[in-house]
Structure 1
Amino acid sequence: MRILVVEDDARMADVVRRALGESGYAVDVRADTRSALESFEIETYDLLILDLLLPGTPGGGMALCARVRAAGSEVPILMLTALDAPGSRVEGLDAGADDYLTKPFHLQELLARVRALLRRAPHADRPLLQVADLTLDAATRTARRGGRVIVLTAREFAVLQYLMRAPGTVVSASELIDHAWDGNYEGYSNVVQTYIRYLRRKLNVGGAPDLIRTHRGMGYSVQAP
């Protein structure tokens, strides 16, 4: 899943980006409302995390939130700000935010709120994804095959989760990069192929049938054998 973080404090933005990235989310960071709006109009995001006191346009994060809602978007929005007065909370929620977290905060609470918002999103994944004897629990972020627990890294989980959203649908490598890595990814071009190999190694223990199919020149899919 892809998250847009709009935060002008570089240190805070880096802390949030790292925490979300280590949990398997693809994260884009913008420091002002103007560039954030440009990114939102170009990319598809599953969640927005907005500071309130932002440069770029009058009204800062509050105005950005209202503009996103005025455009008809139902993307979940979490406001992350040092403004903790009740009036600020009310104003933020009335502007269209779904949740409001004040600074300072514990990263574990931030991650829990992110998971809760993604579960309640209009187009949220089903809590439990299943293909043949492989299950993926988005709530607990665990995978099992035939009752066996499969230990996945955050990135492996993100790739497998995206493939299992629509079993049998071919997903291109570039689409997987868009949703499992952030927009600044400039690593090696065969990173998806490498992670598919990692997943197969973990999923196909004991001669279990391969559920991941490679479609040459097109991408990958997950489907029952």
Structure 2
Amino acid sequence: MSHSSAPLLPAHQTMLLVHRAIVRDLGRIARTAEQLTVTPNRERAVALVSYTDKIFQVIEHHHEGEDEFLWPRLREFGADEAALALMIQEHEELAKVLHAWREASRRLGSGGEAAVELARLTDDVRCHLAEHAADEECELLGRLAPALGKQIWSDFAVHMRKTAPGWALRFMPAWLLSVAGPGEGHGVPVALVGRMFSGWLEKNQRAAFGSNY
């Protein structure tokens, strides 16, 4: 999707990278789960459950940050109520799918049916999230843009860092760096840390995804 010819603020670019990385990894989780239905692999299943739980926490933290901080701040500045209502509604619908997906991932390794269920639910989550991400990106540059100033983006970035789980401090920079294209590096918080932990992230992803890395 083409957003704007003007450079995006760092926190806005970070959000786009988060969306991109989530959708990419959901595709890899689905393909790996499908593979496990044919060729069970205990070690891969354990690694996939661990990685899937991280992605669930990333998504939940991302949505909580918007629901508890970004949307209320935008409302204070007179943001379009219809656009905010759409974002809140989509988050509520996604929450139901996401929690069912997480529970399915925790059953992985209990039998072939668990892998089949995880593959199906991951595809469902991926479709919902891709649609929501597209809507959100459109609204932030459309109906919500008049209320969305530089200070709000900056405050939102601080809020997200303060409320992130401890493991995310090394995971997130490397994860975002792995999907950043030319000219998008300013959207990777603490890029130096990302480069330091890129090898660690790749090792974890290869353990979880195998040939689907």
TM-score by shorter chain over 0.5: no
Q: Which has the higher contact order (CA 8 A, sep 6+)?
A: 2
> Which has the larger helix fraction?
2
> Which has the larger strand fraction?
1
**TM-score, normalised on structure 1?**
0.28
